[in-house]
Amino acid sequence: MLELAWLIPIFPLLAFALITLTPVRHNKAASGWLAIGLMTLATLLALGVAAEVAQGILVAENGSRTTRAALSSVPPEDVFSFPVPNIVRTLRWAPVGGMTMSGEQAPFTMGYLIDPMVAAMLVMVTITSTCIHMFSLGYMAHDERQARFFSFMSLFTAAMLTMVMASNLLLFFMAWEIMGLASYLLIGFWYDRNYPDLRQITPRQAAIKAFITTRIGDVLFMVGLAYLWTQAGSLDFGRAPGQIFELGLLQRLAATPTALGMSAATAIALLIFAGTIGKSAQFPLHVWLPDAMEGPTPVSALIHAATMVAAGVFLVARTYPIFEASGALPFVAFIGSLTALGAALIACAQFDIKRILAYSTISQLGFMVAALGIGGWIAALFHLLMHAFFKALLFLGAGSVIHGMEAAVGTDVTTSQDIRNMGDLRRFMPTTYWTYLVGALALAGIPPLAGFWSKDEILADALSNGHIIVWIVLSLASFLTAFYMTRQVRLVFFGQFRGDSPRRDTRPSEPKAVEHAYGTDSVAGAHEHGGHTPHESPWTMTVPLIILAIFAALAGFVNTPFAHGLSNFLEAEAGSFNIIAVLIATLVALAGVGAGWIMYRDSFVTAQDDDPLERLQPAMFGALNRRLGFDELYARTIGVATTVLSIAWTALDLWVIGRIVSGVGSVAAFLGRLNFIVDDTVFNDGADSLADGVEHGGDEVRRIETGRIQDYVGFAFGGVVVLGVVYLYIIQR
């Protein structure tokens, strides 16, 4: 199985190619099932690979197999190090002129590397991706461009799997960028959608915003890669000489000073971390993720909750030795904690069901980043995996809720996603309710669901490693997480159904003015939208919910403090069990749930009511509802600066460069005129007469071609005589 691991990303890539290039693209159902089928194959293969990794099988360069137990080398104790990879296969890709410090030629390589961390990620990505593909079949059933959707989803999955398996940072970065592209394409999937309220961001604007914002981080990341390459002469993962985790290299990097009093290792780590800030939506580049919710809900679940945004965390985990050698970890912890708390605060004051989840995702990513910053490598990865399952579940549940709500309030996005218009949906959508409840409790950190174990491990690491401030901030964020999830569940699934008289915040709401996912209603015909009661979703949507709910409920048991399954799997030292941390974390989560329940128990009899928090703290709630004004801040600073710069540039362009260009142009035109005259008189006529002469001469010469063979013999003999005379009397002389 390990030797076949390279096939895992090939399957979705094949689905992408087939759907894009063959007539399958004309068939909505066939494209969907093709993608699902190939994803299932990839999943089975990933499970097989993970099974062999769990047995500790190592495949050497020459194909011989040993087990990890037979390995005798003892890793250095004082430095962080990854376990020996189970299999590495690389090929020389591009020889480059540079030399390493040791004077060897250093070509770029391409290849894959499987170690326990990669295997865990592969399993997570393939399972969530398969579930979400299946969910999409129901959710996107009425969309005209379903084949396009599945093609992009497959491309994304292929890129994500490639990134996870990459054996070097270059391939990692390539796949990372393809994921960015797929994210852009899928956020803007409904690119023709417009809203009556011009201030509301449209999908295509959101796509551009996401792409540009993450680009800021990616450019810095690439600069970091270039810097690392100049120092290490290689981008390959590994501890061997000439690879980037070599101990001597890391020590040298840590000792090399650069600008601003940083060591080279710190500079590289910070530049790489910039990529994480962009991709994982950390402060201050978090603004793109909430707006990325303009994409279809399965996209939000797969890309903007479970996998791609976690890629930033994976990046830090993957390059962790560099971070450990550098002084960047406190900064990482700071950014993570700040993001975790800030996003959780904003999430409390949102009304859009998907935006609440988006801020929750940002907040949870902050948890992971903070965990990395305090050295909780296992905890971060554990939370990443668990979060992927329950957040994918929550997003798919939200998609199911929206799908059902559209029957009641119509297809206007703002109305159908507003939790104030929902209520009592557990009566109409029982499967969605139960699965959503599991996901929400897992996210809130209620034992014994998945989120409890992973979040608890982060908090326990913070407490036992002495990072008290991080621990307090994360506990606060954890409380808020429980609070806003309770608020959401309470408003969506309990109380009274308020969709009969919904609030429509986009004022001139023409029901048909909004182009929607399900095509125009008359075409779909399956169910008319608006004015009905909500209904449960079809089985293709509920089955993935149930599968993910099982994972969200039980997956946490792979790494409880009593049985370190994941830690052992990752060949890492397990965190110590801290009963105080567990108790406090549980109490905090329960307190959050309780506070949310009490505060929202009697609220929202009608959709027009005010939020209890708003009555309590109107100013603060308003600020949080407006997302603390980051969008406006960026619009006023960066946006205005860009506008001013562009106006200045326009003026410069018009008055200076324009003049120069037109001056150069007129000189060129004059020269051209001159050239034309010379050309016309000298060259054209000369060439014409040359051609005429050749033609005339040919006419003359063809007369000796009589066709009589004896004439030819005569000419030949005459020629010999002439040559002989020339030879004898001119050359010899």
Partner 1 sequence: MPNIVEAVPLSWVLILAGGLFCIGLFGALSRRSTIAILLSIELMLNAVNINLIAFWRYLEPQLVAGQIFALFVIVVAAAEAAVGLAMIIAIYRTRQTIVADEVDTLRG
CB of 616 or CB of 716, closer to partner 1: 716
- Angle at the Cα of 447 from the Cα atoms of 444 and 452, rounded to 5 degrees: 55
CB of 663 or CB of 718, closer to partner 1: 718
CB of 97 or CB of 707, closer to partner 1: 707
CB of 608 or CB of 706, closer to partner 1: 706
Give me the least distance between CB of 708 and partner 1, in Å please: 5
Q: How far apart are CA 34 and CA 11, in angstroms?
A: 10
Within 8 A by CB and 6+ apart from 193, the residues are 202, 203, 514, 515, 516
Residue 422 near residue 408 (C-beta atoms within 8 A):
no
Helix (H) or strand (E) run with residue 440 in it = helix 430-444
Burial of 595 (0-12, 13-18, 19+ CB in 10 A): middle
CB of 469 or CB of 694, closer to partner 1: 694
Footprint of partner 1 on this chain (CB under 8 A)?
702, 705-710, 712-714, 717
333's tokens: 């912890």
545's tokens: 């919910």
CB of 94 or CB of 709, closer to partner 1: 709
Chain CA centroid to CA 446, Å: 29
Q: How far apart are CA 224 and CA 266, in angstroms?
A: 10
Cα atoms found within 13 Å of the Cα of residue 699, Cβ hemisphere only: 6
Give me the least distance between CB of 712 and partner 1, in Å please: 8
Q: How far apart are CA 537 and CA 431, in angstroms?
A: 9
Helix, strand, coil share of the chain (percent; to 5):
70, 5, 25
Give me the least distance between CB of 696 and partner 1, in Å please: 16
Give me the least distance between CB of 668 and partner 1, in Å please: 49
Give me the least distance between CB of 689 and partner 1, in Å please: 25
Give me the least distance between CB of 716 and partner 1, in Å please: 10
Give me the least distance between CB of 665 and partner 1, in Å please: 54
Computed on alpha carbons and rounded to an integer, the radius of gyration of the chain in Å comes to 33
Torsion of CA 619, 625, 628, 630, to 10 degrees: -150
DSSP state of 575: P
Give me the least distance between CB of 685 and partner 1, in Å please: 30
722's tokens: 């002439």
Tell me whether the omega of the peptide bond preceding residue 561 falls within 30 degrees of 0, making it cis: no
Give me the least distance between CB of 729 and partner 1, in Å please: 19
CB of 670 or CB of 717, closer to partner 1: 717
Q: How far apart are CA 649 and CA 651, in angstroms?
A: 5
Give me the least distance between CB of 698 and partner 1, in Å please: 10
Residues across the chain: 733
Give me the least distance between CB of 677 and partner 1, in Å please: 41
CB of 522 or CB of 710, closer to partner 1: 710
Partner residues linked to 114 by β-bridges? 87
CB of 61 or CB of 705, closer to partner 1: 705
Given phi > 0 = left and psi -120 to 50 = alpha, else beta, which region is 637?
alpha
44's tokens: 């089975």
Give me the least distance between CB of 714 and partner 1, in Å please: 5
Q: How far apart are CA 651 and CA 648, in angstroms?
A: 5
Residue 136 near residue 302 (C-beta atoms within 8 A):
no
CB of 105 or CB of 706, closer to partner 1: 706
Q: How far apart are CA 167 and CA 172, in angstroms?
A: 8
Q: Tell me if residue 1 falls in helix, strand or coil.
A: coil
